[in-house]
Structure 1
Amino acid sequence: MSYVLGVDVGTTRTTAAVCRLEGGRDAEIVLVVPSLLQLTDAGTFSVGEVDPVGWTASGFARRVGDAVPFSLGPEVVPAEELTALLVMWVINDVVARQGEQPRHVAVTHPAGWGPYRRGQLHGALRQVGVHDVTLVPEPLAAAENHAVRARVLPDSTLAVFSLGSHAFSASVVRRTQGRTFELVNHVEGVDQPVGGDLDDALAALVRGRLGKDAFVSVAECEAAKRAFGPSVVVAGVEVTRDEFVEEIRPAVDQLVATFVRAAGAVQPEAVLMVGGGVRMPVFGDALSATVDCRVLAEAAPEHSVAKGAAVAARLVVVGPEAEPEPLDTSVLVHTREASLRFPVGEVAQADDEEFTAPPPRPPVDVSPLELPPPRSKRMTRVLKPTGRRSGSRSD
């Protein structure tokens, strides 16, 4: 069955969703893999798994357009090429699962990217053979995912509160007369708390009871935070939700205040919470107490952007005028409800801008550093998938 593909390359995880061209517009998650690329000593690349022998790159998606490349042993690789290689691997893996090529691919990117960074990623994708692709800003993808389930009238606005492991952003988008979304305002958190800081706060609480030299797994803290009930047990120590909320309250207040500044005088129809960091009810409660509108999230808010990218790819193929408006908006619920979540939901196709010069930067006196030339063409040829991960498919 024909399908389109949406890919969200996050700092921690990369998520892929497909949307069928026949039937409903709902997108489904088909792949979740760590955003890791490893160069082995044999000169091949693996994806998503780390071997003790080799050089690993992570966090490259947010550094697209950075003049400083990644150094992986004998190779020097720009961030956009690593991102393109990961996207290519994802496409190949999904094709193996679906049995056919996608009709179109949409890849998300931070809303703050300008023509230079988008051009860099477009060029890198072409280099690895990915040509039929649309780049979609993350908040617009989140809005598209919302629009699948709820009718969004022209000229109405939505706000997007996004909190991941390593990034925070606040955005306002508007529905156009052509049933697409446009970006009204956006704030990218620079010195803002992120999901990883909340993990550290939980680890600090546990370490305070075990002793400052006690080992506390950050991965265990992240898993506990994502599944926080009345209490969690980390390293044998029970931490109640109230204790943890009290610990992170300054961070929550800071993020909500930044979101309010980004929204300005705009009165949104709803606030969409996306990213794995918003799973805790404290964020929904804090936003609900601050804004006079609905505050909404999915059961798995970290998947919202990837699913919205797949919806955007479908709109590129079939056109927004061919898609009926949702009839039932009863699935929208307030975050204070026990069920808490609902499946959230055209992005105008991004222009395939030509390569442009990077934005001007302040003059800085830096001693020149001679770097060996990149060998990306060889890396593209030797990319070696690790195979399907037993835990990569998401229900």
Structure 2
Amino acid sequence: MCRLDGAREAEIALVVPSFLQLTDAGTFSVGEFGTPGWTATGFARRVGDAVPLSLGPETCPAEELTALLIMWVIGEVVAREGEQPRHVAVSHPAVWGPYRRGQLYAALRAVGVHDVTLVPEPFAAAENHAVRSRVVPDSSLAVFSLGSHAFSASVVRRSQNRTFDLVNHVEGVDHHTGADFDDLLAALVRSRLGKDGVVSVAECEAAKRAFGPSVVISGIEITRDEFVEEIRPSIDHLVSTFTRALGAVQPDAVLLVGGGCRMTAIGDALSAAVDCRVLAEAAPEHSVAKGAAVAARLVVLGPESEPEPIETSVLVHTREASLRFPVGEIAHPDDDEFTAPPPRPPVDVSPLELPPRRVKRVASVLKPAGRRSGSRSDSKYDDEDGR
């Protein structure tokens, strides 16, 4: 969330896992994982997929579930702030074309969310960075994004009108992501416990985020060096894909976004592979969301004068020479192509009497459940993707 009468930087208003659960009463709860088959997650990246998700007796397209989650988040923040947002920005993968963006626009309009700008994720990350550090025209930034279930590498360039252009982008397919690293840590612990050992994946995920010299999981001590040795091939694969995405571009900085980048081994490996600064916020899973909020502010107020570089003493230490500290800003997105969904093809279609959209019925029974929003986030609800 960005305040129009306050600082240019964004603040975190609410953090909730992207889970939608259909209850026995026929209502939806948000943010809690329930019975398998009745809970949907990971649907935001399936927008435009013709195969719907099955929730017990219901089947719902991914864009409808995504729109419902966005509607719920807006409602929670409105309840806290006491007013409607002037504008909403939603981040999306850089590979999305007009069809997927149009599908999400239509689903958002169906649930009553109209003033929306869609922002590619690497643009949002770059805009968040530009809040804190001056990015001159024609300079380039690289974005290394590693979340729970997705990896991507992007290069963006600052244009003369202070927006960002996409130079190159690679979407990971066979790369390990945050959830895979949790499984590798669990397997390392299980190998010490024996075949009958029980390991909590949630405990492994928490330990991975805050790895000190060693961690104890299910009574087994795992040193950081042991874990890094276990995941080294996966990290090398990620870094080699990232360097191929850079090509001949020499970026001014590499921005680490996504909760998977909390692992210091990621920053260390990138620092050894590139000849520039490697930067990350203390909570990199929030960087894209904060950049999207700054983009929404720019849509309403327009661009402002370039800020002077901000000195900061907040440092996130790595064991090697990587420079990692909070980053931020965002340029005015070029949303001319986002003003309306793609035009229909010039074909004659016989009119049909369509049934009422199910999403309106689903939206009417969407009820918050579990933790209510507050003035700060709770780390146990943080999702590494930050989406």
Question: What is the TM-score with the length of structure 1 in the denominator?
Answer: 0.87
Pick from 181, 193, 197: which aligns with 2:164?
181
- Distance in 2 between residues matched to 1:239 and 1:100, nearest whole Å: 49
Letter in 1 for 2:341: E
Match among 320, 328, 331 for residue 309 of structure 2: 328
SS of the residue aligned with 1:31?
coil
Relative distance call for 1:65 and 1:187 in structure 2 (3 A) is same
Q: 2:339 aligns with which of 352, 365, 371?
A: 352
Structure 2 match to 1:383: 366
Cα distance per residue 1:224-261 (max 9 Å; x no partner): 00011111111111111101000000000000000001
State the secondary structure of the residue aligned to 2:11: strand
Is residue 2:176 matched to residue 1:193? yes
Structure 1 position 49, deviation (Å): 1.9
**Secondary structure of 2:14's aligned partner:** strand
Hey, what does 1:8 align to over in structure 2?
A: none
Unpaired stretches in structure 2, ≥5 consecutive residues: 346-354, 379-387
How far apart are residue 99 of structure 1 and its match?
Answer: 1.1
- Partner residue in 2 for 1:121: 104
Contact 1:285 1:335 in 2 (8 A): no
Residues 296 and 334, structure 1, Cα contact 8 Å, conserved in 2: no
Q: Deviations over 1:4-32 (max 9, x none)?
A: xxxxxxxxxxxxxx111113211111111
Q: Equivalents in 2 of 1:54, 1:251: separation in Å?
A: 31
| 2:384 counterpart residue number | none
Letter in 2 for 1:186: H
1:285 and 2:268 equivalent?
Answer: yes
Counterparts of 1:209-358 in structure 2, within 5 Å, are 209-320=192-303, 323-331=304-312, 336=318, 341-345=324-328, 346-350=331-335, 351-355=338-342
Could you say what the CA RMSD is over the residues aligned between the two structures, in angstroms?
2.3
Contact kept? 1:256, 1:286, Cα under 8 Å? yes
Cα offset for 1:357?
Answer: 7.6
Q: 1:92-107 counterparts in 2 under 5 A? A: 92-107=75-90
Partner of 1:90: 73
- 1:32 counterpart SS class: coil
The structure richer in strand per residue is: 1
User: Higher mean Cα deviation, 139-148 or 70-79?
Assistant: 70-79
Q: Distance in 1 between matches of 2:264 and 2:284?
A: 12
Within 5 Å, which residues of 2 pair with 1:127-166?
127-166=110-149
Percent of residue pairs identical: 76
CA displacement at 1:353 relative to structure 2: 3.6
User: Contact between 1:108 and 1:135, CA under 8 Å: does it hold in 2?
Assistant: yes
Contact 1:156 1:175 in 2 (8 A): yes
Aligned CA distance change for structure 1 residues 291 and 338 (closer, same or farther; 3 Å): closer
Structure 2 CA distance for partners of 1:164 and 1:222, relative to 1, 3 Å: same
CA distance in 2, matches of 1:335, 1:181: 29
Alignment check: 8 A CA contact 2:278 2:322 kept: no
Partners of 1:284 and 1:272 lie apart in 2 by: 10
1:390 CA drift (Å): 7.1
2:196 and 2:357 map into 1 onto residues whose CA distance is: 42
Distance 1:270 1:335, change over 3 A: farther
Q: Distance in 2 between matches of 1:356 and 1:219?
A: 45
For the Cα contact (< 8 Å) 2:271–2:322, is it kept in 1? no
User: Which amino acid in the other structure matches residue 328 of structure 1?
Assistant: P
- Secondary structure in 2 matching 1:153: coil
Name the CA shift for 1:273/1:357 in 2 (closer, same or farther; >3 Å): farther
CA contact (8 A) 1:296 1:341 kept: yes
C-alpha displacement at 1:381, in angstroms?
1.7
Residue 44 of structure 1 and its aligned partner are, at CA, apart by: 1.3
Shift of residue 374, structure 1, vs aligned partner:
7.1
Residue deviations 1:247-291, cap 9 Å, x none? 000000000000001111000000000100011111111111111
Displacement of 1:339: 10
Q: In 2, Cα distance between the equivalents of 1:392 and 1:44?
A: 26
Evaluate the alpha carbon distance shift between residue 137 and residue 224 of structure 1 in structure 2; reply closer, same or farther with a 3 A threshold: same
Judge conservation of contact 2:43–2:66 (CA < 8 Å) in 1: yes
Structure 1 residue 68 corresponds to structure 2 residue 55? no
Instruction: Indicate which of 186, 191, 208 corresponds to 1:208.
Output: 191
TM-score, normalised to structure 2's length?
0.89
Instruction: Confirm or deny: 8 A CA contact 2:142 2:253 kept in the other structure.
Output: yes
Partner residue in 1 for 2:385: none
Instruction: Give the match for residue 30 of structure 2.
Output: 47
Contact (CA 8 Å) 1:284, 1:335: kept in 2 or not? no
Question: Against the structure 1 CA distance between its residues 158 and 124, is the aligned structure 2 distance closer, same or farther, given a 3 Å change threshold?
Answer: same
Deviates more, 1:267-276 or 1:384-393: 384-393
Cα 1:202/1:123, change in 2 over 3 Å: same
**Distance (Å, rounded) in 1 between the aligned partners of 2:188 and 2:89:** 41
Q: Secondary structure at the match of 1:272?
A: strand
* Deviation string, structure 1 residues 371-392 (Cα, Å, up to 9, x no partner): x997222112221122643789
Letter of the structure 2 residue corresponding to residue 64 of structure 1: V
Q: Match of 1:238, SS? A: strand
Deviation at 1:50, TM superposition (A): 3.7
Residues 120, 355 of structure 1: 8 Å contact kept = no
